[in-house]
Amino acid sequence: MKAAIIGGTGYGSIELVRLINKHPYLEIGSVVSNSQAGVNFSDVYPHLSDVVVQPLETFNANRLSEENDIVFLATPSGVSSKLVPQLLEKRIKCIDLSGDFRLRSSEEYENWYKHSSPEEMYLKQAVYGLSEIYKEEIRQSTLIANPGCYPTATNLGLLPILKSKLADEKSIIIDAKSGVSGAGRGLSLTSHYSEINENTKAYKLGKHQHIPEIEQVLSDESGNPITVTFTTHLVPMTRGIMCTMYVNLKEKISTQKIIDLYKQFYQESHFIRVRPEGNIPATKEVMGSNFCDIGLHVDERTNRLTVISVIDNLVKGAAGQAIQNANLMNGWDDQTGLTDLPIYP
């Protein structure tokens, strides 16, 4: 099956190329970058020399639908919303990594993303692609809104305790830290070497566009409207996300019982690894893989649960989950092409 990639020069795209290249049922088709059309892909990314040799293309819905079977969109927000309708008209499956179709409310989208919303019909058509939670819906869909990196780590870490009804839903605090690749490949003062090296920054306090995405999923799955306190930090590493989450418990319960609850919740989810008591995951332990590792601890003094959730932001937080969703859409085992062990050290 030929897979096209739109937005071909970003980190998400290059991770898609790496994963598709080893996938038994997918091969790299068109790679679209309007800004660098005509340039050989390996000139932009020399590590692909003699591996991906075709030139980058401009967007053309007719040609893409004729030459490809599925499209991954790894564009900035506000771009894919204009391209996806053209592709769906050609009956080609789309997986959007940009964020344009994650929120069901056009008003919420415009409030948080600060530009025009996609058409309402496409917001309603899109299935939110949190692979472990919405498998059946993904299998039936032709448009997947691939989750953001922070929401993936956060929601996978919080959903078991929220659905158990043991959590005080008004007490959720999320402390999230990401490597610099999460800011993209574009040049900015934020990711400038001398600004981020030996430095840790909090950013977008109360304004991060992933806040409504997290709250939408938590509210849907708990059955109650949920708001969270969510603070993001940029740390001086390339890959990885660690979300440390705090939630008050309604009753006394041991760490081991919480671990048992999580293991049961994720017993059929290969990519979710719940650590034993006293074993706390680190970002390097999932680097380059599609795993989400979760560590848990109940503070008996405060009766507060701490959840540590770690992912590789470019794999489980982007391209890896997109491939997992493509597997589900096509009736393949969701682990197909995603069996790499983490890179360590």
Q: Which residues are catalytic?
A: 149
Identify the helix (H) or strand (E) that includes residue 134.
none
C-beta separation of 92 from 71 below 8 A: yes
Q: How far is CA 15 from CA 172, 252, 294, 297, in A?
A: 32, 43, 23, 33
Provide the token pair at 166.
Answer: 């043991």
Which residues face 299 on adjacent strands? 304
Matching residue, tokens 């920054």: 201
C-beta separation of 307 from 234 below 8 A: no
Identify the helix (H) or strand (E) that includes residue 95.
strand 93-96
Helix extents (H) in 59-201: 61-67, 80-89, 106-113, 120-125, 135-139, 149-163, 193-196
d(CA 236, CA 246): 24
Helices and strands (DSSP H and E) totals, the chain: 12, 13
C-beta separation of 249 from 298 below 8 A: yes
Identify the helix (H) or strand (E) that includes residue 17.
helix 11-21
Q: How far is CA 310 from CA 159, 195, 204, 283, in A?
A: 15, 24, 21, 6
Which residues face 55 on adjacent strands? 40
Encode 12-41: b = buried (16+ Cβ within 10 Å), e = exposed: bbbbbbbbbeebeebebbbbbbeebeeeeb
